[in-house]
Structures are given as structure tokens and as C-alpha cells.
Amino acid sequence: MKILLSEYAVSTGMSGTYLLEGKAMLSTLASSFSRLGHEVIYTTSDVTIEHGKPVRSSEEDIEATISKCAKECDAGLVIAPEEILPGLTAIIEDNTLNLGCSPDAVSICSDKLECTRMLENAGLAVPRTYAPGQKMPPEGCWVTKPRYGCASEDTFVCHRPDIKSSHIATEYIKGEHLSVSLICGKEQLPLTVNAQRMEIDPTKDASRIEYCGCTTPYRTDREQELYDVAKKATRALGCNGYVGVDIILGDRPYIVDVNPRPTTSLVGITKIMDKEIAELLLKNGMGETLPKIKITGEYSFTKEELR
């Protein structure tokens, strides 16, 4: 099969964390599809990776480039910031087999306020969440972040938050910063629980929250509880393909974000999983039964090690 992969940071020449994580995810996916004998093409402004054929793109023409390439491919997958992902996913879905979430599911997950409300209505634990203009308790510790955003972008701990027009404030929950990676579709296949390495100081007002790396798998006797919560959340949101569910594990699992696309944890998971992620994505996309997986060992990385 001919597979199109498009990661936005690589495709448009972004820099910093976006490019580090984006290139790592793109390379991981391209190498997996290539090992199974598939032909891979990927969009890029100038960065090249080991596997696949590059197709030149830029911020100005990325939509047209994806549309043209998708028509020539048997399946496609796009990774992009939340505010851009729905539109690019729609282009993939209109022109080839989409291996990721539907545009509608992406739109819901990408809107952190709407996503939180839907999860709460589904009976899942979420932090108290406030939009601009809503009356908040006078005391407490809060996390302010963009309503649409990723990679811990513009995310801070605040004691008396003044919520910007494009931001939300969520209750700061004490607990372990984890994520669940799973494949969603006709059936749901949990892959791993991951420990997120976060730089965070809740005692300091206006301190930035930074993602620093990951350890996978994270061993816990509450693994099944975490898997059950992640599966219920992705069912409620109509997710498909690889999804990462960010959770704070305190007295119970609180869902803080649902990522409707491959996440950086995938870089580690593919090092310790006995099945190719490409096989899982393709079987899921075509509605086939997913194989059982086996996780052996442990893999850790820091953001800097992705270079």
C-alpha cells in the first residue's frame, strides 16, 4: 500500500519543541510502515527522515499538497496542532482512507472546554473548568492553558488566574501525571500507561508547566482502572485510530486532555511492543480484528533526546 504521512511542524518548517516531537513521531511511523513493505511518502519543508519519500510543502500550500498526495495514496494520517488538525483531517478523509480520528471527533477533542463538558456528561472525572467571564472560587490553585493548544503550550499554574479570552482555567489536581495510549475503532486496544515527565511547581504563582519526557510503560496496580477510563472517554468522543488520553491519577483518574492523534509517547511504545504500530493502524482503519500485543521491558526518553 502507498501511505501518506503529514506532520505539521515538519511540513511547514516550525522549530523548537514542535519540530523535535513532530519529527520523532513522523520518523517512528514512517519506519514502521516501511518495515512492513509499504511505500511511504511524507510532506516536509526541508527536514528529511530515514524512511519514505519526501514531498515538498510549506505553510502556504500544505492543504493543497495533502489533497494532491492523498488522492494518490491508499491511506493517510496527519498530525497537527489542535486548531489546524480538523481541517487537515477532513482533507485526508475526503481523498483516501483516514487512519486517524474523524474530523468531527478531532474538533471535539481539540476544544478543551467542549471536550471537558462532554466527558463530564459521560460520568467521567474531570477537573473543575472555567471559561473567561465565569465566576471562579476566590481561593485555590489553577492551571491556565489555551482552549485550543498542544505540547503544554502557554500553560501555567496560577493562584488567582485572569483568564485570557482564548484560554480556560482548570482546577490543579494533585497526583501522578500519566497518559494512556490506545487504538480505537470497532474495538479498543489499550497499548500502555505512560508516565509523563513534567516540570511543574504548584507553590509558585504563574509558573510554567513543561513537558520534559516520558517513561513507558508505567507499572501500577491501577492499570485496568486507567484503561477502563480511557476507553470510556474515547467511546464518548467517537475517537478512531491512535489516541492519547492524559490523566492525573489522584484519588481517582481525572482526564485532563484527549489527543486525537499520535502522541510523543509512541516513540517509546514502538521500542517495546511486539507488533508494528503500522499493522495496528491499518487493521483498525479497515475494520479488521486487532491482534493481541505484548510489551517487553521499559523505555524512557527526555525531550532533548529526541533531537
User: Three cell numbers at 31?
Assistant: 519506519
Asked if pLDDT for residue 301 goes beyond 90, the answer is: yes
Q: Which residues pair with 66 in a beta bridge?
A: none
Residue 151 pLDDT: 57
pTM of the model as a whole:
0.94
Calculate the average pLDDT of the chain.
94
Residue with cell 510503560: 217
pLDDT digits (tens, 9 = 90+) for 148-200: 876 566 788 888 878 888 899 999 999 999 999 999 999 999 999 999 998 88
Separation of alpha carbons 260 and 164, rounded Å: 25
Separation of alpha carbons 143 and 177, rounded Å: 14
**Type and span of the H or E element at 66:** helix 62-71
Contact 261, 5 (CB under 8 A): no
Parallel/antiparallel/unpaired status of strands 75-79 and 97-98? parallel
Under DSSP, is residue 238 helix (H, G, I), strand (E, B) or coil? coil
Under DSSP, is residue 293 helix (H, G, I), strand (E, B) or coil? coil
pLDDT digits (tens, 9 = 90+) for 208-240: 888 889 999 999 999 999 999 999 999 999 999
Element counts in the chain: helices (H) and strands (E): 9, 16
Sheet with 97-98, strands from edge to edge, namely 53-56, 39-44, 2-7, 75-79, 97-98
Under DSSP, is residue 163 helix (H, G, I), strand (E, B) or coil? coil
Cβ atoms within 10 Å, residue 56: 11
| Residue of 181, 191, 192 whose CA lies nearest to 233 | 181
The pLDDT of 128-137, averaged and rounded, is 90
Q: CA-based angle 281:284:287, to the nearest 5?
A: 150
| Count of positions (residues) in the chain | 307
| Residue of 121, 168, 129 whose CA lies nearest to 149 | 168
User: Three cell numbers at 44?
Assistant: 516536509
